[in-house]
Chain A
Amino acid sequence: MGSLPPSAAALRPRGGAARWRRAALAGALLVLATLWLLPAVWMAVTSLKPTENIVRMPPEWIPWPATLAHYGEVLFSSSRTARIGRAFLNSVVVSVGTVVVVLVTSAMAAYPLARMRFLGRDLVFVVLVGSLMIPNAVVLVPQYVLTQRLGWLSTYQGLIVPEAAVTFAFGVFLLRQFFLTIPGELEDAARIDGADRWRIFSRIVLPLSQPVLAALAIFAFRSAWNDFLWPLIAVNKAEMFPLPVALSFLRGAYASESYGPIMAGATLSALPLLLVFLVANRRIVEGVRVSGLKG
């Protein structure tokens, strides 16, 4: 998105005064953006302070002396509740698993919906898009009943499969939009050369779709990594908690003034997406953009 011209760019007066005005506006917004980030900064700063410095007044924004003791405690201590270290691992397994299931099922389903003609195609598509309106809270109880019947409570598949089912319809929608833009001549040439549909899909369509697949992967990762309500219900063994659930219990496990370990856990949970975000900022924004405008 950064490369697109802003819509008001054509208006941009060429004079020096206007340039100064824009710089001043950017400066003001920079101050606002800094203030905006303070809650997250405060979280990270707190996690690095020794306990006795955390509640000191006035608030100290430079964590000096700094310590990693709170991280050591939440990652490795088993004394309080589910270890954040184990929860982190659980979240990685569940989120990566969800990404894989979503990518495979959505890409396979979006391909015929975009590139083949068959009876029922439009109906399938309409039902999938319509399902985006189903509030997750509505299927909570029956989904629990089903997961229990399958023996999947407190298992990875019990988190991955329902999570993937939520994102699947959006994935189909996103990928179909992209597959529609691939020129038909490429496929026709391959078919005349004897390639079947699966070969065309896996050798031509998928390689061409890497950017949109990456956007979908990040989207699926974000929603799986951050989901709270479903794992809160579907997991009742502490060693199987994903991060958000383990963190919510961390809150109760510590007295309210020992914010150090709680903020260390919260900061840890923010790191993977922060990394993804720094590396693939544009992909994320693109995914959100499409989810918003076309959803």
Chain B
Amino acid sequence: MGRTAVEAPRPLHGPGSPDAASKGAPARARRRARHLRESALTPWLFLAPGLLLFVGFRVYPLLEGLYLSFTNARLGRAQYAFVGLANYERLLEDSRFHVSLWNTGFYTVASTLPILAIPLGLAVLLDRGLPLRTLLRSAFFFPFTLSVVTVGLAWLWLLDPVVGPFNYYLKAAGVPVRSWLADPATAMWAIILTTVWWLTGYYLVIYLAGLQDIPPELYEAAAIDGAGGVRRFWAITLPLLRPVLLFVLVTHVIGSFQVFGQVFILTVGGPGDATRTVVQHLYETAFRSFFHFGSASAMAWVLFVIVLGFSLLQFRLLRGHTEY
């Protein structure tokens, strides 16, 4: 390691300052000083393996994708040409892409209320010092440990129109049944139901953490003032949970724009294109039917801009709520 220390010595480093060492202080002090200063390179040596990984597999692909979106690149095509905005223009006419965007938007909007409200309701109930709290939380959390494929397969079987238990019990209860996943009117709702089951535990834990941070004195004061449970929820819990609610909302929206696995397992985008999503369309454009990397990259960047918009929205909305 070189001795080109640019880092200012920290106050706690003791008496052996580098200046003293270089002015002919005793050898022992000099040796100590050498330990105390360090090369400007040291932090970068620590960072190097991670940054290599990060630049190579995150930053570079992001930029390469932008470049590809202006080319006619295809799987297996060694040479490709710059085509300007042609891929983006084609997206304007690609009706399946429009359907995919619409479906993704619908999924996002329709799943938001249940994904915000169900874990919140559970969290508020669990936060009351109930017996078996940890057990209950674990039960709701468990589906989140499963892969999206496992979740999809389990629900595919559960929702089987002929031999699945879901329809059996509905029929027994006198509810008219149908082939939920094969009906364009209900397929997306079945996917949403599956997703809510999968992710509720994750958001539950986040809400519970948020509830822990609300000072109990507030509830005490409200109780003394005669506020009931419902009133306390609206007047204290909800406002103070606002940053957490926003976090859950935006995380969910960003994740929803990339929904893929559930759809791929449960409906493969069908019936027709009723549940086709953007990422599925991107996947098929690039890797299944057309092998058109340029066009798929253009879709990816349209998606990125949408997601980025929501991320910036998050920062705007969260600004000023630094207490969390």
Contacts from A to B (Cβ < 8 Å): 1-2, 4-12, 22-23, 25-26, 29-30, 33-34, 36-37, 39-40, 42-43, 46, 54-55, 57-59, 101, 104-106, 108-109, 111-113, 116-119, 121, 124, 128, 131, 133-146, 161-162, 164-166, 168-169, 172, 184-185, 188, 191-192, 194-197, 201, 222, 225-229, 232-233, 243-245, 247-248, 251, 256-257, 259, 262-263, 265-266, 269-270, 273-274, 276-277, 281, 284-285, 288-289, 292-293, 295
Contact yes or no, A266 B293, CB < 8 A: no
30 residue pairs A–B, Cβ–Cβ below 8 Å: A7-B216, A8-B129, A11-B220, A22-B128, A23-B131, A36-B140, A36-B200, A39-B155, A55-B163, A105-B53, A112-B44, A112-B46, A116-B7, A135-B254, A135-B257, A135-B258, A135-B307, A140-B283, A140-B300, A146-B57, A168-B54, A226-B147, A228-B149, A229-B260, A244-B148, A263-B154, A269-B147, A274-B142, A288-B205, A293-B247
Apart from A29-B122, A292-B244, list 5 A-B contacts with CB within 8 A.
A43-B157, A59-B169, A109-B51, A169-B58, A243-B149
Q: Report which of B14, B150, B287 forms a contact with A188, defined as CB distance below 8 A.
A: B14
Interface residues of chain B: helix, strand, loop or mixed (majority): helix
Structural contact, A141 and B300, CB atoms closer than 8 A: yes
- The CA of A263 and the CA of B152, in the complex, are separated in Å by 11
Task: Please tell me if the beta carbons of B43 and A118 are within 8 angstroms of each other in the complex.
Answer: yes
- Are B279 and A292 closer than 8 Å at their CB atoms? no
Among candidates B132, B209, B287, residue contacting A293 with C-beta atoms closer than 8 Å: B209
Known: A6-B129, A25-B130, A108-B47. A139 touches B58 (CB 8 A): yes
- Interface residues of chain A: helix, strand, loop or mixed (majority): helix
A8 engages B300 (CB within 8 Å): no
Count contacts between A and B, CB distance < 8 Å: 345
Q: Please, which residues of chain B bring their CB within 8 A of the CB of A281?
A: 134, 138
Residues of B within 8 A of A7 (CB): 127, 211-216, 219
Nearest-CB distance from B136 to chain A (Å)?
Answer: 5
* Cβ of B296 under 8 Å from chain A: yes
CA A276 to CA B279, docked complex, whole Å? 31
